[in-house]
A and B are shown apart, each in its own frame.
Chain A
Amino acid sequence: MSAWMAAALGLCAGLVPCALVALRARDPFDRLVALEMAAVLVSLALVALAEAMQRPLFLDLALTQALLSFGGGLVFARTMERWL
């Protein structure tokens, strides 16, 4: 196993506490913060996977994930501020 694959697995392990908070927290804003953290971890894991598999195409996925999670986080925050 390469260092990049180990890094990807380690970053995916970080999704477990985020999932626990997102599934079990009572405050919806706790869940939103966990979702934002998970989006960041997934972006970094996609970078590590792209390097581990020598697939530069996956770097586009990481960049897209980072950009979409930015918009998604803003939309969730504004929606929960006003309407939920």
Chain B
Amino acid sequence: MIAAALLAIAVAAALIGALGVWLMRDAYQKLHYITLPCSVSSGLMVLAVLLHEPRKAAAGKVAIAALVLFAMNAVVTQATARAIWVRSEGRWPPRHPPPPAPPEARG
């Protein structure tokens, strides 16, 4: 029962992340939503497997996969954001700080 509740929260977080990738305006905003499945969903799934799975080796594999996803998210997100910046501005690191967002982008 507890594992099912953890799974439900994990799936809900992953779906919110997927909807964020769909609905957000540009790639910088979309990048933030990968964090949800990489951190919340993967962590909750590790807990659910630990509660559900009698074989601890299997739970260890899931924990390693979740750790890879968690670490991967930071590296790939930074690399992607840097690639977007280089494509639009031409060089890295930025010579000047980016200009403030226009009022309509601030919500």
Residues of A within 8 A of B19 (CB): 17
- A30–B14 alpha-carbon span in the complex (Å): 18
Smallest CB separation, A42 vs chain B (Å): 10
What's the minimum C-beta distance from A59 to chain B, rounded to whole angstroms?
Answer: 4
In the bound complex, do residue A44 and residue B7 qualify as a contact, i.e. CB atoms below 8 Å apart?
Answer: no
The majority secondary structure among interface residues of chain B is helix
Interface residues in B55-102 by Cβ distance below 8 A to A read: 55, 57-58, 61-62, 64-65, 68-69, 72-73, 75-76, 79-80, 82-84, 86-87
What's the Cα separation between A3 and B41 when bound, in Å? 15
- Output the least CB separation between A31 and chain B (Å): 9
Name the distance in Å between B42's Cβ and chain A's nearest Cβ. 6
**B83 near A11 (CB under 8 angstroms)?**
no
For B49, the chain A residues whose CB sits under 8 A away are 47, 51
Q: Are B22 and A21 in contact (CB under 8 A)?
A: yes
Give the bracket for the number of chain A residues in contact with chain B: 35 or more
Task: Report the separation of the CA atoms of residues A69 and B58 in the bound assembly, to the nearest whole angstrom.
Answer: 21
A residues 58-84 in Cβ contact with B at 8 Å? 59-60, 62-63, 66-67, 69-70, 73-74, 77-78, 80-82
Which 5 pairs of residues, A with B, have the shortest CB-CB distance? A17-B22, A81-B83, A14-B18, A10-B11, A3-B4
A–B pairs, 11, beta carbons within 8 Å: A6-B7, A10-B11, A14-B18, A17-B18, A17-B21, A33-B30, A37-B37, A40-B14, A40-B69, A43-B69, A66-B69
